[in-house]
Amino acid sequence: MIVGIDLGTTNSLIAYFGEDGAKIIPNRLGKHLTPSVVSVDGDGNVYVGETARERMSLYPDSVAQAFKRSMGTEREYILSGKHYRPEELSSLVLRALKEDAEAYLGEEVTEAVISVPAYFDDKRRKATKRAGELAGLKVERMISEPTAAAVAYGLYDKTRDTRFLVFDLGGGTFDVSVLELYHNILEVRAVAGDNYLGGEDFTEVMAKLFLQKAKLQMQGLTQKEQVRLYRQAEVAKCAISDGPQVKMHFLYREETLEQEITYREYEEACEELLAKIREPVKKSLADAGLKLSDIDEVLLIGGATRLSVVRDFLIRLFRKFPDTRMNPDETVALGAALQAAMKERREEVKEVILTDVCSFTLGTEVVVEYEEGKFEDGRFCPIIERNTVIPASHTERLYTARDNQEQVRVRILQGESRFARNNLFLGELEIQVPKGPKGREAVDVTYTYDINALLEVEVKVVSTGEIQKLIIKGDSNQMTEEEVKRRMEELAYLKIQPRDYEENRLVLARAERMYEEALGERRKKLDRYITAFEAALKKGDHDGIRESREALNEVLEEEDE
């Protein structure tokens, strides 16, 4: 039997498809939700779930949680003096779920479909697969969480073509996906999200609000006091959804402190988080070429969508009531179980063909002519743009940039920046070309990306027919999203003196942000105006800079409407 698993940041679930359809398997405590918390004591004993969470207040140095946020990174967690990688901790959660399923089903469980956030890149998906393998599971497929949710909704209820917007706010990650169901094909149109935004952040807001009202500082709390504070903040966060205010209690230095927090105060404190939610929604619709009015249904999944502060915000944003018929905590696991049943070709399940998209743009480094006779290297040339339905294969023809050039080096990159150095390096290959004047020789660079997250790069010399190939599995990429963001900030304005002026810095930052959000012709148009502005900056002519900046600003205003 193939089971379906929702490996969550805060809680995890396991499900199977039986005679009565998809069902959640209760854990050893008889509960559906298993907290994604792991504790290891000094003797090497492992605790998973609620037990581990209970140990946090007593032995904070032995407990790890929210490690899903670090999947695919080099981060290590130290529990009782020993080091563990995120996928190792995740494997302990998966092993516990596997044992619960075997006890419930009365048979060995060796295969699974595991869900992952839609916005997980290749490295995070591979780390999730490794976690499954460490737990003794053959991972038959990884399914995006919003796709799993749409499978659950679609199979049970839909008899007509439907466009969904799946809003997935879990404990530690946020995804928004636009999907279309037609006949028996469920196609992902666009995905966007934030791997560092979730219900845990709303808990932190409540904790900070309490400290502010109690006139305390987080730095003044012991580690155990911080654990207690966040636990009470979690309780208050959930309770405030049921009334206009909540009383939060906190044991501080043997004294119980109490503060009343109103819903309005909490809502105002959450404004920054709610603003962060808005951008991926806007981005996914733009990438799909749709308006909110084109969406038939908005589906909520993830435990954090239960919060009134989130639901009230979504009603204002979408101007419609989201579909909340299914349990947001359980929908993904049920969808994963349905996908597992499809893999087994169960007769009771109507098979749905699932398509996915490439979450990040794939391309290479090129030299561009920014002014007649003047060239700049280190620029990024997109080949497969983000949210392209996969499997996909695209070809870009590139030409030699120098006289008597003897070889072409293709650097394989992943990201959205115009500058190659700011994107993730995945690998490279070189191929020989005949000598000649620049621009005479050409190579066709073909990227082929499949649903198993494998990228094949083929480079063919047009004149000779010689071909070089490379398959990228992403194993060499050790850089996290946080490191990329920090590097982009450090490198963005180096070596160009006029960029020291704040007005120029501002317009360039906005332009770069909009370029990364844009696709196709919009991206090309922005690139032309940004390149012209950069050329003016290099010349140092103040009048030319001002005119070029004003022209760029006009384009930004038009494109941002």
**Residues catalogued as catalytic:** 6, 68, 145, 168
Q: What is the DSSP secondary structure assignment for residue 480, as one 8-state letter? A: -
Q: Which of 325, 301, 327 is nearest to 314 (CA)?
A: 301
Judged on CB neighbours under 10 Å (0-12, 13-18, 19+), 183 is exposed
Q: Where are the beta strands (DSSP E) in 450-503?
A: 455-461, 467-472
Q: How many CB atoms lie within 10 A of CB 403?
A: 11
Name the nearest CA neighbour of 492 among 478, 473, 511, 477. Answer: 511
The CA distance from 8 to 116, in Å, is 8
Burial label for 349, CB within 10 Å (0-12, 13-18, 19+), is: buried
Q: Which residues contact 263 (CB under 8 A, 6 or more apart)?
A: 240, 243, 244, 245, 308, 309
The residues, any chain, with a CB within 8 Å of residue 347's CB and separated by 6 or more, are none
Phi-psi map region of 269: left, alpha, beta (phi>0 left; psi -120 to 50 alpha): alpha
Question: DSSP labels for 269-321?
Answer: HTHHHHHHHHHHHHHHHHHHT--GGG-SEEEEESGGGG-HHHHHHHHHHHSSP
* DSSP reduced 3-state for 337: helix
Q: Which residues lie closer than 8 Å to 380 by C-beta, 6 or more apart? A: 363, 364, 365, 366, 413, 415, 417, 418, 419, 420, 423
How do 11-18 and 21-24 pair as beta strands?
Answer: antiparallel
- Best CA proximity match to 388, nearest among 351, 368, 362, 352: 362
How far apart are the C-alpha atoms of 38 and 64, rounded to whole Å? 5
Q: What are the counts of helices (DSSP H) followed by strands (DSSP E) for the chain?
A: 14, 27
Burial of 374 (0-12, 13-18, 19+ CB in 10 A): exposed
- Order the strands of the 392-399 sheet from edge to edge: 392-399, 442-449, 455-461, 467-472
Which residues on adjacent β-strands are paired with residue 259?
A: 248
